Amino acid sequence: MTFKIALLCSIVLGLAGCASPVGNVFPLEERKLQAKALEKRQQLAEALLQWEIIQSVNSNDQDAVIAISKLKNEIHLSLQKHYASLKKAEVEEDIQEQRLLLLKILALNPTDSEAMASLRKLEWQDAYQAASDKSASMANWRIEKPVTKDSVARLKQPSTNLPKREKTQQSLQQRSTQERIDRLLQQAEQKLQGQQWAQAGEILQQLSDFNGTSSLQTSKLINMKKQLSAQYYSQGMRVLTSDIDQAIDDLQTSLWYDPDNTKARLQLSRASKMKQNLEEIRNPK
């Protein structure tokens, strides 16, 4: 409620600051039309906010007084109905119905902390279920690794029937490839130490195209991928509440580098559910 009052005050001050001899930048009559359009679309909370803004500018506006009283009554009755249905859904353990009703409640009253807490609880339940599901795989998240260029990178094993000259050429080719892999690993390590995550990722993707890496090289590659996965996981968590799309992108990248990162998988499921909830709150059915 404090946030709502602050929002109203800031808007009123903005309107006052925008006043001119010609009139307001956003005339109240236009705001009334916007409020009525929101009512028609059953976006009652948004409509109520617009009428309250109008009343803050002109407390004697009868249109605003009547509309506010009407909307508050409609919202109150709708909330009572939804909460009654929610109790029934909880008894029947109907998770989907509970989620839908909580979204409807938040669409009517975005500051309802009880409904928000209940919705978050359902999100975590879904997230843990997705993370523990044995059938979950990278395909579930539509994250695909680049196609391996086998025809280019695969090294042929030397045959005992080949002439000595060809054996020597293949040995030199294999040694050259190993040296190139070592150089790329060293470059990737330098980029990671310099916190140049994107450049390090590009090098690691190149290394993923190579076959015939030694056990030591494979171990280094896996460790670097896990390190980069942890970094993208941290980045995703930092922006989870401010930029949901960026958070989802970072968590998907984290899983690309380390499919076994269960924390990233859990938070990706949660972020995806949060995005879906936000879209349904903004566009209630």
C-alpha dihedral (259, 220, 223, 142), degrees to nearest 10 = -20
Between helix 62-91 and helix 28-40 the angle, nearest 10°, is 30
User: Which residue's entry shows tokens 């579930």?
Assistant: 140
Element (H, E) at 176: helix 164-193
- For the chain, what is the mean pLDDT? 75
Q: Specify the pTM.
A: 0.46
CA 39 to chain centroid, in Å, comes to 30
User: Cα–Cα distances in Å, from 121 out to 47, 124, 126, 273?
Assistant: 29, 5, 9, 12
pLDDT at 129: 60
Mean pLDDT across the stretch 29-58?
A: 86
CB 45 within 8 A of CB 65: no
pLDDT at 66: 92
Tokens of 115: 């409904």
Given a cut of 70, whether residue 150 has pLDDT beyond it is: no
Nearest CA to 101 out of 117, 113, 119 is that of: 119
CB 265 within 8 A of CB 136: yes
CB 32 within 8 A of CB 55: no
Q: Where are the domains of the chain?
A: 2-132, 163-282
Other beta carbons within 10 angstroms of residue 190's beta carbon come to 13
Nearest CA to 35 out of 22, 45, 20 is that of: 45
Assign 187 to helix, strand or coil: helix
Half-sphere CA count of 284, side-chain side, radius 13 A: 21
Query: ∠ CA(28), CA(42), CA(270), 5° rounding?
Result: 110
- Residue-wise pLDDT tens digits, 95-109: 888 888 888 888 888
Given a cut of 80, whether residue 203 has pLDDT beyond it is: yes
Tokens of 159: 């045959």
CB 106 within 8 A of CB 115: yes
Percentage of the chain modeled with pLDDT above 70: 71
What is the distance in angstroms between the CA of the first residue and the CA of the last residue of the chain? Answer: 25
- Residue-wise pLDDT tens digits, 110-127: 778 888 888 877 777 666
pLDDT at 155: 35
Lowest mean pLDDT among 197-201, 202-206, 210-214: 210-214
Tokens of 202: 């590009």
